[in-house]
Structure 1
Amino acid sequence: MDLFGDSNDYFAKTRMSFGEHLDELRGHLWRAILWLFAGMCIAFFFGKPILGFITAPVQIELAKYREFRLQQTEAKLDAGTLPDELIGLEKPTPILDILIPRQALELLAKGQEAGKYAWKPEEGKTLAEGVSQVGPEDMIRLPAAFSDPVRTGLAMNRVMSKLNGDDQLTTLSIQEPALVYLKVSMVAGFILASPAIFWEIWSFVAAGLYPHEKKYVYGSLPVALGLFFAGVILCQFLVMPITIKGLLYFNYWFDLRPDPRLNEWLSFAILMPLVFGIAFQTPLVIILAERLGVVDYQMLKKQRKIAWFVMAFLATALTPTADFTFLMLFIPMGLLFELGLYIIKNRSRDELDIEVPERDEMVGV
C-alpha cells in the first residue's frame, strides 16, 4: 500500500522526471523534423506547379493592368488628349523602302500564299524545306510609312508584351529562382507534413492533460482547421486579386511601371493567407477563453467597442493597401467575434463536464 501516494492522482502512472521529459521531447522533435524532411522531399517534385499557383494571381492582374494601360492610351488617342510627348510622335513617319520578293507579289496577285523566303545562304549552308532563297536582284522596293505610329505601336505592344513575358515576375540574381524554389518546397513540405508534425507535438502535450482538457482540444481541432482554411481560401481567391488591383492602381496613379520581384511577392503571398487563417480563429479563441473562465459574456459585452476598434486597427495594419481592402479582413473578424459572443451567451456552463469557478471567485485570492 502506498502511504504517500494519491489514489485519485490521474498522472501517477505517467509522471516523469525533468530529464525524462527532455528525452521524451527530444524524441518527438526529431520525429517531427524527419516528417518535415519527408514532406519537403515530396514537395520538391511539385515545386513548379505550386509556385505557379502562388504567382498566378499577380500574373493575371499584371496582364489586366497592362491591357488597361493600353486601353487608356487608346481612349486618350481617340479623344485627342494624349500627353505632349506622345502627341509629337503621332505623325506620319518618314517614307522608307520596303523590300518584297518579286515571287511573293506574283503569288499574291494569283490569290495564293506569299510563301517563305530567306536570303541566299552562305556557301555550305542549306535552307529549310519550303523556304525559297532570294537575293537583292529578286526584290522589289516599295515606299511605305506609318500614318499613325502611336496606334500601330499600341497594337504591336500587345503582341510584344506576351512574347517578352512582361506579365512574369522578375528576379535580380541568377540564384534567386533556386532559393525561391527551395522556400516553396519548405513551405509546401511543412503543410504536407503538418498533420504528422502536430501529432508529435500533441503526443507530448497530451500526456499532461486531463480527460476534459483533451476533450476540448479534440472538439476544437476540426473547427480550427475549418476556420483556418476558410480564411486562406477567402484571401487567395477574393482578397488577393483585389489587393493586387489596389497596389497596381497606385502605380497607375503615379505613372510608374510595376516590376514585381519573385522573392518579394512570394513572402507577401504566403503571409497574407496566413494572417487571414489566424484571424478566423477569433470565435474559437473566445469560446475556449470563456470555458476556461478567463473571460465571460458580460465582460466582452462591456468591452465590445474596444474590441471592434482593435480589430479595425489590426485589419488596417495587416493589409497592405490604403483602400477598402482592410474591410475584407475587418468585416469577417467582426462577424466571427459576434458569433463567438452569441455562442457563449447561449451556452450555459452547466453543460460543461467540469466545475469552472466564476470570475468573482478568482479575484482576491
Structure 2
Amino acid sequence: MAKEKKNINEMSFLDHLEELRWLLVRSTIAVLIAAVGVFFVSDFIFDKVIFGPTDANFITYRSFCELSQYVGFKDSICVEKLDFVIQNTAMEGQVNIFIWICIAGGFIAAFPYILWELWKFIAPALYPKERKNAQLFIGVASILFFLGVLFGYFIVIPMSVNFFAGFQVSSVVKNEFNIDSYIGLVKTSVLASGLFFEMPIVIYFLTRLGLVTPMFLRKYWKWAVVIILVVAAIVTPPDVVSQIIVTLPMLAIYELSIALSKMVYRKRLKEEQSLQKNG
C-alpha cells in the first residue's frame, strides 16, 4: 500500500491532468450513449414525461386533490384545468430543444457512471477503508440525486406550472408560453433539485476538509429556513399545503447535512486528539 501511495504521489501534474482528461472523455461518451437511448424513446419522453405536468390529469394534481379533501381543505388545491398554450416561435426551436433534452436525459441516466469515474480518479490516493466508504457514497449520492430529480419532476414542476398557468394580471391577457420557457423550467427544476439533494454529500466532504462545521450550519439555520421558505413560496401556489409539501423535504435535506457534519466533525476531533497524544 505504501508503494501504491508513493506511485500516486510521484505522478506529475500533467499525469493528473491526463487522467482528468480521460475521465471527462469517458463521462462524455457515457452521456452521449445514454442520450442516444433517450432519442429512441423520445416520443414517450416528450409526450408523457416532459409535457406530462401540462395535463390536469397528471398524477401529482390528482394526488394533491385527494390530499386536499383528506385534510379537510375540500378542493382548495385541486387542479381542474390548465388554461395555457405552449408554442414554438423559432424555426430551429424544436430541433434545439430535442437535442438538449436528449443530452439532459443522458446526463441524468449516466450520473451514477459519472460518479464512478470520479471515484476512480481519486480512489488510488485513498486507503482501502476509505475506498469502501467511497463506494458507499457513490451509491448514496446516486440515490439522493435521483430522489431530487423525482422531487423536481413530481413536486416542483407541477406546482410551478399550476401557479404560472393560473396567474393573471388581467382577464384580457391569455397565457401562451414559449416552448423554450417551459423546457427551461423543466430542466432547471429537475437538475437543480437533483443537485440540491446532493447537499449532504457535499457537506460531508467539506467537513472532512475542515471548511465547514456543524456549528456554522446550525448558526445559519434560520437563514437557511428563510431561503427555503422563499423558494417554496416562489415555486408553489399561495396555499399552505403546497408550501409545506415543498418545504419539508428541503428542510430534511438540510437537517441531514447537519447530522452528517456532526458525525464527521466528532470523528475528525478524535483523530486530531489521537495524533496529539501520539506526538
After TM superposition, the score normalised by the length of structure 2 is: 0.70
Aligned to 1:273: 190
Superposed CA offset, 1:294-349 (max 9, x none): 44444444443333334445555xx4467356654433222332344456657894
Given that 1:61 and 1:244 are in contact with CA atoms closer than 8 Å, whether structure 2 keeps it comes out as no
Identity %: 26
Aligned residue for 1:11?
A: 5
Query: What corresponds to 2:121 in structure 1?
Result: 204
Partner of 1:229: 146
Match of 2:51, SS? helix
More helix by share: 2
Partner of residue 36, structure 2: 41
Query: By how many angstroms is 1:290 displaced?
Result: 4.1
In structure 2, do the counterparts of structure 1 residues 29 and 298 end up closer, same or farther at CA, with 3 Å as the change threshold?
closer
Query: Is 1:357 the equivalent of 2:261?
Result: no
Q: Is the radius of gyration larger for structure 1 or structure 2?
A: 1
Change in 2 beyond 3 A, CA 1:180/1:13: same
Q: Any residues of structure 2 matched to 1:284-323 within 5 Å, and which?
A: 284-313=201-230, 315=232, 319-320=234-235, 323=238
1:185 shift after superposition? 1.5
Alpha-carbon RMSD across the aligned residues, in angstroms, is 3.5
Alpha-carbon contact 1:292-1:356 (below 8 Å) kept: no
Q: Give the stretch that moved more between structures: 279-288 or 257-266.
A: 279-288
Residue 50 of structure 1 deviates from its aligned partner by 0.9
Residue 55 (structure 1) aligned to one of 41, 51, 55? 51
Alignment of 1:236-251 (within 5 A): 236-251=153-168
Give, in whole Å, the separation in 2 of the partners of 1:19 and 1:215: 28
Q: 1:357 to 1:314 in 2, by over 3 A?
A: farther
- 1:184 and 1:167 map into 2 onto residues whose CA distance is 22
1:1-365 correspondence runs (5 A): 8=2, 10-14=4-8, 15-52=10-47, 53-60=49-56, 169-251=86-168, 254-313=171-230, 315=232, 319-320=234-235, 323=238, 327-342=244-259, 349=266, 356-357=271-272
Structure 1's unaligned 5+ residue stretches are: 1-6, 63-165
User: Deviation at 1:28?
Assistant: 2.9
Deviation for aligned residue 1:292? 4.6
What's the CA shift for 1:198? 3.4
Local SS of the residue matching 1:169:
strand
